Amino acid sequence: MFEQFQYLNDQLYIEDVSINKISDEVGTPCYIYSYKSLKDRFEGYVDAFRELEPLICYSAKASSNIAILKAFSNLGAGFDIVSIGELKRVLKAGGDPQKVVFSGVGKTDIEIEEAINSNILFFNVESEEELHKINEIAIRLDKKAPIAIRVNPDISPDTHPYISTGFKESKFGIELSKAIEVYKDAAKMQGINICAIDAHIGSQIFDLSSFSDSIAKLVDLANKLIIQGLKIEYIDIGGGLGIKYEDKDNPPPKSEYAKIFEKHLKDKPFKLVLEPGRSLMGNSGIMTTKVLYRKEGSEKKFVIVDAAMNDLIRPSFYNSFHKIIPVNRTTAKDEVVDIVGPICESGDFLAKKRLFPKVEPGEILAVFSAGAYGFAMASNYNTRPRAAEVLVKDDKFYVIKSRETFEDLVRGEQIPDFL
């Protein structure tokens, strides 16, 4: 689960670097990622899917620092993006645009134009109006835009409703029953090149039957489209393989995940596209935070730390669990506490009613499973600078994003003359 994070001489290490050393030099809060972990996890997908040789597109929204993107690009990854900003990050990191798929329901004209001009692999089209807009822009540019239709297979996996995306009420995709007609319309469009089918049923999924149902529906649709005379080169199954946040989570091995797709795609003329994000980065990173104060009320005990919901919003937003441990191993007696941050919101917490060893002000804590949707979802709420980011490789660490300053926070703001 956390292979690259181990105690050594009662101090927590990431690979061969003491987290205390990083905290002393970089400060807290801080996001720290293990290069070996993200590399091993990516190569785990490559090995598990060796029979199908899919295009593995790292989902940039999980953690989009250009150093992280460069690491995955060097490993041979493509990229799943959802904004022009992510496309520009991928290109700045040296990513191959011909390995980029562009997802998301609200692509703007500027985003579509820049993606076409960058020669991405294909758009995952989310609506009929978007399809017409892409066609219009491609014609104006005298180009053909490669597209997949994102279909909604009406599958509701057992996951948090905010990250379940394949059911009928979801804002994502086009209903499967309408897909053939939409593809037929797309085939008549001058600026459109049909090349793929896409579906994404959600994130943090452990039940492989959901993936099996989804890929079966996509292959069936692809076969029907071929009969209609359309060419389908890729089937994009999205991401979604869950990770272990706490002991009760039991994600399946990647090898079993791969067998689902081998069963449906072996000897078929379709190339598989995967879009993992969380399963590559989630347990490859932690967030560090320093204890500021202890507070004991009549009903609760609080540990107040310097990280807050603006740094890691998942506990507040999803009520999600993150393992938290002291960086210095302790034999202190456990107590039930809420671990909370400085933000002026009652929803600002990292853990509630957590059995936790008694810690004192100044101690450093490590918040696990923070490599995905951690820094990427951070904000400047309460005019708080975003944390630093650090990448560790072997016995060295590298600051890949400096901690923001006040000047960073007010850059671009102006006071009108009348004030």
Positions annotated as catalytic residues are 344
- Using CA atoms, how far apart are residues 23 and 21, in angstroms rounded to an integer? 5
Name the nearest CA neighbour of 314 among 163, 97, 180.
163
How far is the CA of 353 from the CAs of 91, 245, 300, 360, in angstroms? Answer: 44, 17, 8, 18
Give residue for tokens 């706490």: 246
Give residue for tokens 């009929």: 128
Give residue for tokens 């066609």: 135
3-state secondary structure string across 279-316: HHHHHHEEEEEEEEEEEECCCCEEEEECCCCCCCCHHH
Name the nearest CA neighbour of 248 among 323, 164, 352, 319.
323
- Using CA atoms, how far apart are residues 319 and 352, in angstroms rounded to an integer? 9
- Using CA atoms, how far apart are residues 163 and 160, in angstroms rounded to an integer? 6
Q: Is the CB of residue 265 less than 8 Å from the CB of residue 272?
A: yes
